[in-house]
Structure 1
Amino acid sequence: MQKYSLIICTLLLLAIGCKEEKLEPLTKGGNAPAPVSNVTAESLPGRVTLRYSTPSDPGLLYVKAVYETRPGKTMEVISSFYNNSLTLEGFGNTDEREVKLYSVSKSEAASAPVTIKVKPLTPPIQATFASLAFEPDFGGIKATFVNEDSANIVIGTLTRDEQGAPIPADMFYTSQKAGAFFVRGFDDTPRWFGLYVRDRWQNHSDTVWKQVTPLFEEKLDKKLFKAMSLPTDAKAWGSVLLQNLWNDKVEGGQSVTNVWFRTQNGSGIPHHVTFDMGVTARVSRVIQIPRGAFDEKTLLYSAGDPQIYEIWGSNSPASDGSFNGWTKLQTCEVVKVSGLPIGINSNEDIDRAQAGHEFLIPADAPAVRYIRIKMLQTFGNADYFWMAELTFFGEIQ
């Protein structure tokens, strides 16, 4: 019997201890404050800023705005009694709508509402949607956009299945003012692609559709790549190997030297390295993953991380290591998405590094077998460079 009594007492104590705590107003009782006055509205892209005069009432705690971003979607914004403005966000169009403003006391008593009509300017999703353009590219499409307000948006890509129903293909997250992105992984047959824009309040633009035929390309087989050592090539640092640039390993820590490649200190600027792809191909694009993209993140966009370099190609490289017989395929500049200074990286910077920095090779570039990477500048202005991985795409000749 004692055993059951002990269990009952324990359950009672747990029930008391787990009692839900109810938040109470700062004070109880009292009259509602007077409404705000002198309300004005400033229309902005996808948002509206309201300015007002607060009542002289020692019991005033905050001002609350209640509005609909779209039919059935109500939002509230509050602002401390210290302020005389608040901003309403989340509008997906320029329709006029009503906003109700309340003065609220410390006892949560609300004043009579002050109603004002507002009309936001064109929201970022609509402005960005109007700027969207896309064209066929290797393995898919290249899309461009303008996002003047630097809003946090998502550009969604759709395609169609065999029955013609829309299906997701890709999602591109950005707050850049302008830029481009690529959607890959499709063969060179006609296909419908659609683009739309979404914001964090789940407002959606329309979808623009177009049928395009992706350009043919394939990933070049890294197993055929071979390191070369011509007389003018930079030497590797320590025991690292040039073939680390194509071993499909991108993380492993500072002590692992079979993951990334690094040239010796004092290699000078410019300096270069050379390798054989094993086949002759018209290169369409190159993806570079920097050291520090997945670990050692303090090294990302700093020290020996490449900022500007050139990709050269040849079918008959000069044995003396000169640039005779070489053609420059592309000048590659790695740009930090955030624009933040060295040592400070945003999540978007890291995401871009992990996805790889992609560089297109002009369509009129010659087919080549041998590749030379010529380093011109690193983020830390170092006289050496390091890199985790290079991946080449193109059409074998």
Structure 2
Amino acid sequence: MQRYITYAFIMLTSSLMLLSCMDSYMGLEKLSISSEKPGKLTVDKVEPRSGGLEIYFTLPKGNPNNVQVIATYKSKLGNTVEFKASRYSNVILVEGLTGTDEVAVELVSMDESGNRSDVVVVKEKPLLSPVEIARQSLLAIPAFGGVKLTWENNEAQAFAIHVLTEEEIQKGVVKLMEDPSKRVYSSSSKNTAVYLRQYGDFEQKFGFVLTDKWGNRTDTLVQLITPYKEEIIDYKLVKAVSNFNPTYGTAGLDYALKGVDPVTGIQNDGTAHSATFQPQTMFNGITAANEYLAYKFFVQQAGSTAKSYVQDLYATFDLNQDLRLSRVQVYPRPNASYLYTRSSVKRFKIWGTNDANTSRWSRFPDGWTLVGEYVGKMPVFPSAITDEERDYFYNKQEFSIVDDNINPEAKPASSFRYMRLQMMEAYTATETFYTINEFKLFGEVLKKY
């Protein structure tokens, strides 16, 4: 009984304490509030930023009820833009500004009762905004099958590039209109180039305008551009060849025993896991599956069980056409465990030759032309891969034969019929095999066989 009396006493005491802090209003209890406005804050320093102002402040002493600082300005569209900072901060970042003219920003502090202090006005000039910098640096040049765009985004801010092309909106009236399917989104400081396709190889008028998340819109870059002729190479014509002794197996082979053809001295093609994963699967039109898988050769020292792996692995094809490549698209396995990692191919070379090279199957690389060497991109922060970087890796991993070649000895403009693909590095170097789903080719067909 004593325990219940004690409990009741505690509950009664707590209720009385709560009621002492409340007033009665129409039968409802409410917390008491103040109508006294808080004191003005003091601005200590203002630092211009790209498209913004970083404002440092001090709250007045003796008012512990201040809960936040609010900064507002009028945008060029006439909208009120607002930013907030808690009382535990001494800085507030105001963004979305454009131009370099002086801007007036109003700051107030607000207390728990919603009272606002007198306004403090800050006037300062921001630095040029990211979307304006991108517009100034935007470059549109002809490319195979379309247009190549490049820009700057050093602040890694989010903005969109809208692509405009001519449309006849009524008879005899032509206007630049946006093609939503070609819209480009940028939020990376590294991935600042894109190809826009497919467009015919005739002179066309293009327009490009940029917008950011604050509703700011740049002026339009208008250009006449003639794209270069480009075709999608028919994968059905491409056939894997066995002239460099490809094999099947469930593991890599000893390089000393199986790595080199004893007659020609040329490294053999890789060991495919099975017929299901043979080189031909790179050219079957399937971009989202678990296709080509081939094992690297290994080297094992006498008397040791340790193995090291030969990173170079080859696959060879007859394209059944003479062509000049413009670009290739690489489609990796779509599983998340291969995203910028494991056996996905990161670095590769393309070798080419034609029927005039009668010793093509007995000599290599002599007589063959290095068309190009290419390295895949890495995400800006591998531990925090963005949706844009994920979409690029799975669906838009593209290499321009000329622009993306990193080997000064290569001849990217060469035409060829036979192709030897040299895989040189996976995203995880210790992986013992390589995987590719599809190796899509684009370019100009000079002759079909």
Common topology (TM > 0.5): yes
Distance 2:418 2:230 in 1: 18
CA distance in 2 between counterparts of 1:121 and 1:109 reads 33
* 8 Å contact from structure 1 (residues 27, 107) kept in 2: no
Q: Is the 8 A contact 1:315 1:325 kept in 2?
A: no
Letter in 2 for 1:164: V
Asked if 1 retains the 8 angstrom alpha-carbon contact of 2:296 and 2:313, the reply is no
What is the match of residue 118 of structure 2?
112
SS in 2 for 1:164: strand
- Give the counterpart of 2:416 among 368, 383, 386: 368
**Shift of residue 182, structure 1, vs aligned partner:** 0.7
Match of 2:146 in 1: 140
Asked if 1:393 is matched to 2:442, the reply is yes
Q: Please give the secondary structure, in 1, of the residue aligned with 2:208.
A: strand
What's the CA shift for 1:71?
3.9
2:88 pairs with one of 82, 86, 92: 82
- In 1, Cα distance between equivalents of 2:32 and 2:377: 55
Q: Which amino acid in structure 1 is aligned with residue 56 of structure 2? A: R
Question: Amino acid of the residue matched to residue 250 of structure 1?
Answer: T
* Residue aligned with 2:132, SS: helix
User: How many residues are paired up?
Assistant: 363
CA contact (8 A) 1:291 1:386 kept: yes
Q: 1:358 to 1:181 in 2, by over 3 A?
A: same
Rounded to whole Å, the distance in 2 between the matches of 1:345 and 1:100 is 37
Is the aligned partner of 1:308 residue 2:347? yes
Q: 1:351 aligns with which of 391, 401, 412?
A: 391
Residue 149 (str. 1) matches residue 197 (str. 2)? no
* Distance in 1, Cα, partners of 2:236 & 2:153: 41
Change (3 A) 1:311 1:196: same
Task: Give yes or no for the alignment of 1:225 onto 2:247.
Answer: no
Distance 1:306 1:354 in 2: 12
Q: 1:26/1:281 Cα in 2 relative to 1: closer, same or farther (>3 Å)?
A: farther
CA distance in 2 between counterparts of 1:41 and 1:52 reads 9
| More deviation, 111-120/363-372 | 363-372
Structure 1: stretches of 5+ with no match in the other structure: 1-24, 253-258
Q: Work out the CA distance in 2 between the residues paired with 1:111 and 1:245.
A: 68
> Aligned partners of 2:210 and 2:49: how far apart in 1?
19
Is the deviation greater in 383-392 or in 160-169?
Answer: 160-169
Which is worse superposed, 235-244 or 118-127? Answer: 235-244
Task: Give the alignment partner of residue 297 of structure 2, picking from 266, 269, 277.
Answer: 266
- Specify the code of the residue in structure 2 equivalent to 1:206: D
Letter in 1 for 2:391: D
**CA distance in structure 2 between the partners assigned to 1:227 and 1:49 by the alignment:** 60
Deviations 1:183-227 (A, max 9, x none): 111111110112222211121111111101110111011111111
Question: Aligned-residue CA RMSD in angstroms?
Answer: 2.1
Q: Which residue in 2 is equivalent to 1:244?
A: 281
What's the CA shift for 1:105? 0.8
Report the counterpart of residue 65 of structure 1 in structure 2: 71
Provide the C-alpha distance between the structure 2 equivalents of 1:27 and 1:355, rounded to a whole number of angstroms.
60
Match of 1:91 among 93, 97, 100: 97
Distance 1:27 1:299, change over 3 A: farther
Structure 1 segment 146-295 matched on structure 2, within 5 A: 146-162=152-168, 163-169=173-179, 170-177=182-189, 179-229=192-242, 230-231=244-245, 232-239=268-275, 240-252=277-289, 259-266=290-297, 268-292=310-334
Normalising by structure 1, report the TM-score: 0.86
CA distance in 2, matches of 1:82, 1:38: 15
The 8 Å contact of residues 188 and 380 in structure 2, kept in 1 or not, is answered as no
Query: What letter matches 2:281 in structure 1?
Result: N
Q: Give 4+ residue runs of structure 1 displaced > 6 Å after superposition.
A: none
- For 2:211, the aligned partner's letter is R
Whether the 8 Å CA contact 2:209–2:220 is kept in 1: the answer is yes
TM-score normalized by the length of structure 2: 0.76
Secondary structure, counterpart of 2:297 in structure 1: coil
Is the partner of 1:135 in helix, strand or coil? strand
Contact conserved, 1:306 with 1:379, CA < 8 A, in 2?
yes
Stretches of structure 2 that go unaligned for 5 or more consecutive residues are 1-29, 246-267, 299-309, 403-410
**Given the alignment of the two structures, is residue 121 of structure 1 paired with residue 127 of structure 2, yes or no?**
yes
Per-residue CA deviation, residues 150-198 of structure 1 (Å, 9 max, x unaligned), is 2222222222124431122422212333532111111111101122222
Would you say the 8 A contact 1:238–1:264 is kept in 2?
no
Does the 8 Å CA contact 2:67/2:110 hold for their aligned counterparts? yes
Letter of the 1:335 partner, please give it. K
Question: 1:322-341 maps to which residues of 2 (within 5 A)?
Answer: 322-336=364-378, 338-341=379-382
Q: Does 1:36 align with 2:41?
A: yes
